Structure 1
């Protein structure tokens, strides 16, 4: 029988640094909740808003798979491998920190904030060579469909990372319904709703709510309004 864990949007941790406002689904920085440490190998899910022209200065990471998904505006990335890139709404970025990387992220625009999801996944291999990649998506490929954007294999659709993890985006019209079948074994699915309202196995998930599902091989997702959502299937150990 499937097990569910529900995280209401309003229950998330909150940080306000003036230039940065962030909501934390899982424990992060000064927000600590022993009941909200992770969902399997999904360690961080931050919903960030960065003021115009501001950003994160150069800082290090290691042994973490880091995914950025802009929801509004443009985010400029620079790293110690020499990459200088701008990721925009419609793009997905993956950075394998591995044995160590330093990077910075800034709002490219001086006249509007940038909103993006910062997601960390614990890798299945330590001290890999650091790596950076990004992909521009076609929004038509997720209209009333589930669009895979990340997988464990460089030969599969979308980007890849060092973990049994499959990320997908979808934009459903009201009434659209589809079954998501798990792609891995010993994995769970974390549904993060970006806008609108959906039902996952009959459970209502509204704007910025999260729902984790384990001990099953498929879930039924139905949009009860126009809705956009992110599916993150990850190894649970």
Structure 2
């Protein structure tokens, strides 16, 4: 009698553990499906922003009301003059939003003045600069800083925080490893800058360098694959428990 009671208790405990495991796997599968819906909605939103006709850049008085969630990747037109101040370069091994960029290089970040006097930071485009050569970057920037106003079209972007493994900037070379234009402004004496920066789409300089261009959303969408994996694990555990339970009943018969 004690052996039977012990077996039943063990079976009940194993059954409860199995149910918990199945519930966890199913919940993770459902969560991945929810994430897939959210990701598709985000992709649709970003596609709409990137393909919309450019609008006039909001006036400085409206900048505090802008936010990454509702305004990033909107296209804007504006006129600005590149300031005669040190430029910065941001190392990149490629681009997640530019189909025409591959391999290592740097993004050229330069401050520019609006007619109203405010400074905005422009990511003027990609430079194939595998050695992060400061002298080469200086020559590239010098071709842009002519003192003449330039009518630009670009995408509103917000700075990204450095990760735990992000290398520290090299201020001597004016080289950063993360797109934090506010840190560049503090280190290089650009003064007060807009809370956002602009990823330049046009115009393309005559030399082709730096290389601005249109952005394209390329977000990973593996959520259905992950959901199928979690649901498959739930099914496998259910089948395994069913086979084990049938074997236990045969032993007790």
* Greater per-residue helix proportion: 2
The normalised TM-score by structure 2 is: 0.25
The normalised TM-score by structure 1 is: 0.26
